[in-house]
Amino acid sequence: MSFTFIDTHCHFDFPPFTGAEAESLQLAGESGVREIIVPAVTADRFRGILALAKNYPQIHAALGLHPLYIAQHKEQDLELLEALLSHRDVRLVAVGEIGLDLYMDEPMFEQQQRLLKAQFSMAKKENLPVILHSRRSHDQLAGMLRQARLPATGVVHGFAGSLSQAQAFIKLGYAIGVGGTISYERAQKTRQVMAQLPLSSLLLETDAPDMPLQGFQGQPNRPERAAAVFDVLCQLRTESAQEIADTLLANTRRVFQLSARE
């Protein structure tokens, strides 16, 4: 049985995909991954991601300033982001990857919050969904989202928090990204959360080349492995594989306002 997937989070502008885009997209397609959303992490990658989306119809772009790079983001990066969002291409579908991270050695948290607020304002103005990064910051992020009241909401990607934290995001209208973490037996908390959440709130992702699946440690993750994440999700859920695949696809199209492709 073949299913259609969208990898909602893949850093396709990094190696090993750089210079091997066509082959990588073909491999992904053979696994059922027909479309990929590529989020930016720094301003110097914005134009490269937009070019990928222009050159390959399978790719959608997301532009944003990632909290892990807080020390290198500059004021002009925000200005460039605002300019690109306001004159946006149809292939640009979200503001991301943005968010909060308290796992870093020097989080510069006030600066992170200021940067995030600025990007929330842009998402609100352009009515674009957001792709959210959150490590050890779920409660703080939920608080900021409550205040921001973004019209297009978005997704909390690579979620590994508690059930109640996931439910708080869902109550605010946000989807939860399911990635390779669920392939690890030791990740019982995350596996249980993904088994219990409403299927209508889940999106499929890889975070490639990061977040390798069980059995692939030490290797770059790849978008075609979204199919393997799906297989594990099917083992954890009670719905049929067909219902899970159809719902994940519909969820993605709804969150990112993507039209169905032939």
| The one-letter amino acid at 239 | E
DSSP class of residue 151? T
Return the closest-CA partner of residue 8 out of 186, 132, 110, 144: 132
Q: What is the pLDDT of residue 259?
A: 85
User: Does 262 fall in a domain?
Assistant: no
**Is 224:212 a contact under the CB 8 Å cutoff?**
no
Q: Does any domain span residue 261?
A: no
This prediction has a pTM of 0.97
What does 180-230 look like in DSSP terms, one character per residue? GGGG-TT-HHHHHHHHHS-GGGEEE---BTSSPPTT-TTS---GGGHHHHH
Residue 123 placed within a domain: yes
- Residue 260, in any domain of the structure: no
Q: How many residues does the chain have?
A: 262
Let me know: does 41 contact 234? Beta carbons within 8 Å: no
Alpha carbon distance 198, 81 (integer Å): 34
Share of the chain above pLDDT 90, in %: 96
| Tokens 């090993």 belong to residue | 16
Confidence band of 194 (pLDDT split at 50, 70, 90) = very high
Task: Say if CB 239 and CB 250 are below 8 A apart.
Answer: no
Please name which of 15, 140, 107, 11 lies closest in space to residue 64, comparing C-alpha atoms.
11
Q: Does 249 map to a domain?
A: yes
Greatest distance between any 2 Cα atoms in the chain: 50
Annotated binding site for a divalent metal cation: 9, 11, 97, 133, 157, 207
pLDDT score of 28: 98
Domain residue limits at 130: 5-255
Rounded to an integer, the average pLDDT of 104-110 is 95
- Specify the pLDDT at position 262: 43
Instruction: State how many domains the chain has.
Output: 1
Q: Does residue 66 lie within any of the structural domains?
A: yes
Q: Across residues 184-213, what is the average pLDDT? A: 98
Q: Which positions make up the binding site? A: 9, 11, 97, 133, 157, 207
Average pLDDT of the segment spanning 161-165: 97
- CATH code at position 28: 3.20.20.140
Average pLDDT, stretch 34-60? 98
Question: Taking CA 55 as the corner, what is the angle to CA 250 and CA 17, rounded to the nearest 5 degrees?
Answer: 80
Amino acid at 84: L
Residue 261 has what pLDDT?
62
Using only C-alpha atoms, the chain has a radius of gyration, in whole angstroms, of 17
Whether 235 maps to a domain, the answer reads yes
Read off the pLDDT of each residue in 238-244 and give the average, rounded to a whole number.
98
pLDDT for residue 38 is more than 60: yes
- The answer on pLDDT for 159 being more than 50 is yes
What type of residue sits at position 213?
L
CA distance 88 to 49: 13
Per the CB < 8 A criterion, the answer to whether 82 and 124 are in contact is no
pLDDT at 203 > cutoff 60:
yes
Domain assignment present for residue 194? The answer is yes
53-94 tens-digit pLDDT? 999 999 999 999 999 999 999 999 999 999 999 988 889 999
